[in-house]
């Protein structure tokens, strides 16, 4: 089966000779070209052209969704100019190789050499293709470091797909070092099982169980071999913090928390019995000990910043909200009534709780008030729902979607109650970037300060009031576009300002 090769030349047309070179290198693949014009297409070349003069790329999204993307061909020096929203689409399903073309010269893309200090970047698995907010944040941070000229060394466990992912990163000048998880996983798994039984829970992933990588002897050996004097270590997730690193080597440790586990896990300890109190104390103590080993703690949201600040740790504290520059603009049509509602998310406990709240309590009230309404559910959570049985009235499962913009263009409003505190709810911010109003519960009322497009309901009986809010925005697409653009600009400026302030050099 042939793959897809995507050629991006948004400002310059492709010549006859360039098309010939591309056809010679990729004779059996489908070539999708994004450019103003193209020259004469060689005989038997399978090519589809998306003209930047026309600006309709809907067919491109479909190609990226159904075909495996094996290569991306750019103009020399054009990678840094590539729109982040387009780059995100290219690596949502695939790990393509990058090439550059100029006249008759077609070869592997030449990325800029590092000009700043070394950064050792630690992540507990592969983070592309991009599947969720965590991998998107890791990928954005990695490319933020590369764009600042840092030499990046990635350290990660040797899991399925790790070798392929390593080859993908190496083309950007990133060296990848793999370690084996070690023998600690089994006892930690047994301890986790006892903790679940003590709390009477079906699902429970405490902080101590997440330490399975960090206490691996091979993890320690790998880091001690890779880390050099003067390096900066960026750890994604506190439980990966290498507390064994000797600080006398002039090494800085930056911990990117993603969320605060002792806040996120509070709902597990509501019974307040002796086991729950012991487990809550144990996991919070372990997490704070890891955090105290950092020179700087990076938090993802203002609420997390306040939580960590109360703990009075010695580390400097930086708020680094995601840039969300992978989200492009969405064109909405005018409608007198909001009829298409949505929920999107991966298959994780917070999203399971949220979708159960929607299906059991919120959606029945909304669809009763507006029988023509439809709920479109997307993402990995659909795998969970497919086993659930009857979902309710007017509900459609879309599964994984390649284009976030395409999804948000389809819906009039997002329904997204927050059932677990801590971290940042990516789907809500992505919705705001696309000009889609969001309904949250009272626990997330603080999010209303982000945008007038967020509505918080006080209780389940008042959720139908959101229909008036959604209708107002559906009738004013111009306002939605302006609010979305202003929001994206603010988020992008905050991300790069905070990245500069982190002083990684």
Could you read off the pLDDT of 213-256 as tens digits, one per residue? 888 899 999 999 999 988 999 999 999 999 888 766 689 999 99
pLDDT confidence tier of residue 52, bands split at 50, 70 and 90: confident
- Which pLDDT belongs to residue 57? 65
Q: Report pLDDT for 37.
A: 92
318, pLDDT greater than 80: yes
The helix or strand, by DSSP H or E, that contains position 59, with its residue range, turns out to be: helix 58-66
Mean per-residue pLDDT, 441-446: 85
pLDDT at 255: 95
pLDDT of 505 over the 60 cut:
no
Query: What residues are paired with 374 via a beta bridge?
Result: 340
DSSP 14: B
pLDDT over threshold 80, residue 368: yes
Q: What is the pLDDT, as a whole number, of residue 134?
A: 84
What is the separation of C-alpha 105 from the centre of its chain, rounded to a whole number of angstroms?
Answer: 35
Omega cis (within 30) before 129: yes
Residue with structure tokens 């928390």? 257
Residue 426 in this model has a pLDDT that exceeds 60: yes
Q: Count of H helices and E strands in the chain? A: 17, 19
Residue 410 in this model has a pLDDT that exceeds 80:
yes
Distance of alpha carbon 414 from alpha carbon 322, whole angstroms: 20
30 vs 321, more confident: 30
Predicted structure pTM score = 0.84
How far is Cα 182 from Cα 378, in angstroms, rounded to an integer? 36
From CA 381, how far away is CA 347, in angstroms rounded? 4
DSSP alpha helix (H) spans, 446-476: 466-474
The residue among 278, 275, 232, 270 whose CA lies nearest residue 251 is 232
Residue 21 has pLDDT above 90, yes or no: yes
Nearest Cα to Cα of residue 235 among 384, 122, 153, 335: 122
pLDDT for the residue 1: 55
What pLDDT is recorded for position 58? 67
- HSE-up of 331 (CA within 13 Å, CB side)? 4
Mean pLDDT of the chain: 89
Alpha-carbon distance of 259 to 238, in angstroms, equals: 9
* Helix-helix angle 133-147:426-433, to 10 degrees: 70
**205 phi/psi in degrees, rounded to 5:** -120, 85
Q: What residue has token string 């090519």? A: 47
**Lowest mean per-residue pLDDT among 247-256, 312-321, 429-438, 487-496:** 247-256
The string of pLDDT tens digits covering residues 151-207 is 999 999 998 899 999 999 999 999 999 999 877 678 888 888 888 888 888 888 889
């Amino acid at each position: 089966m042939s793959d897809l090769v995507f050629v991006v030349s948004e400002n310059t047309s492709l010549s006859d000779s360039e098309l010939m070179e591309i056809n010679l290198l990729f004779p059996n693949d489908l070539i999708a070209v994004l450019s103003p014009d193209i020259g004469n297409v060689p005989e038997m070349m399978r090519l589809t052209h998306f003209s930047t003069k026309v600006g309709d790329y809907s067919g491109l999204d479909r190609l990226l969704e159904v075909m495996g993307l094996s290569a991306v061909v750019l103009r020399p020096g054009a990678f840094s100019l590539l729109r982040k929203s387009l780059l995100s689409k290219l690596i949502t399903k695939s790990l393509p190789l990058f090439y550059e073309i100029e006249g008759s010269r077609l070869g592997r893309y030449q990325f800029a050499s590092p000009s700043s200090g070394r950064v050792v970047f630690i992540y507990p698995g592969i983070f592309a293709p991009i599947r969720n907010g965590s991998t998107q944040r890791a990928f954005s941070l990695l490319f933020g470091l590369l764009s600042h000229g840092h030499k990046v060394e990635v350290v990660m466990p040797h899991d399925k797909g790790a070798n392929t992912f390593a080859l993908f990163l190496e083309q950007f000048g990133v060296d990848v070092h793999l370690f084996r998880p070690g023998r600690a996983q089994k006892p930690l798994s047994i301890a986790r099982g006892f903790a679940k039984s003590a709390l009477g829970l079906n699902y429970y992933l405490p902080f101590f169980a997440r330490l399975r990588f960090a206490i691996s002897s091979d993890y320690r050996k790998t880091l001690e071999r890779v880390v050099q004097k003067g390096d900066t270590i960026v750890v994604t997730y506190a439980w990966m913090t290498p507390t064994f690193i000797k600080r006398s080597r002039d090494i800085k440790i930056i911990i990117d928390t993603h969320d605060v586990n002792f806040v996120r896990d509070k709902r597990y300890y509501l019974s307040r019995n002796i086991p729950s109190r012991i487990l809550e104390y144990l996991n919070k103590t372990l997490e704070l000990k890891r955090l105290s080993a950092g020179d700087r703690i990076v938090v993802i949201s203002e609420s997390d910043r306040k939580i960590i600040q109360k703990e009075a740790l010695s580390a400097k504290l930086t708020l680094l909200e995601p840039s969300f520059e992978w989200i492009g603009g969405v064109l909405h049509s005018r409608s007198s009534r909001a009829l298409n509602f949505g929920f999107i998310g991966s298959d994780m406990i917070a999203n399971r709780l949220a979708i159960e709240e929607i299906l059991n309590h919120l959606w029945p009230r909304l669809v009763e008030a507006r029988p023509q309404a439809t709920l479109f559910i997307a993402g990995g959570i659909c795998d969970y729902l497919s086993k659930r049985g009857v979902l309710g009235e007017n509900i459609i499962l879309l599964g994984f979607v390649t284009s976030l913009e395409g999804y948000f263009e389809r819906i009039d409003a997002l329904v997204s109650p927050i059932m677990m505190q801590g971290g940042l709810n990516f789907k809500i911010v992505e919705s705001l970037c696309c000009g889609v109003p969001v309904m949250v519960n009272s626990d997330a009322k603080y999010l209303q300060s982000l945008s007038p497009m967020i509505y918080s309901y006080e209780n389940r009986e008042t959720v139908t009031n959101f229909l008036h809010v959604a209708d107002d925005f559906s009738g004013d697409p111009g306002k939605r576009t302006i609010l979305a653009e202003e929001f994206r600009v603010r988020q992008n400026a905050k991300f790069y300002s905070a990245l500069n302030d982190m002083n990684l050099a």
